Structure 1
Amino acid sequence: MLGNIIATTLVSGDRAFKLSIDTEISKYPIIDFFDDKKFF
């Protein structure tokens, strides 16, 4: 699934990833994916 999302992001260019680190929530980075509909 993540591979398809990355490929779509690179091809279309209207999507974005946000990486967050909050050690109180998770010991792993939190990855949020935003498509063009969530920006506006």
Structure 2
Amino acid sequence: MKSDSAKPAMNSPIAAHAYRKIKNYLQVATRECNAMRIDIS
């Protein structure tokens, strides 16, 4: 388990910002995939 080594990294503002950015990107990508699926059907 690498949860112990991952915790200190999240305390860094840069890591937190990158995490938020990736989360936003995944949400947008999921939304786009859902929209494309609807368009296809």
TM-score normalised by structure 2 residue count: 0.30
User: Which of the two has higher C-alpha Rg?
Assistant: 2
Which of the pair is proportionally richer in helix?
2
Which structure has more relative contact order (CA 8 Å, sep 6+)? It is: 1
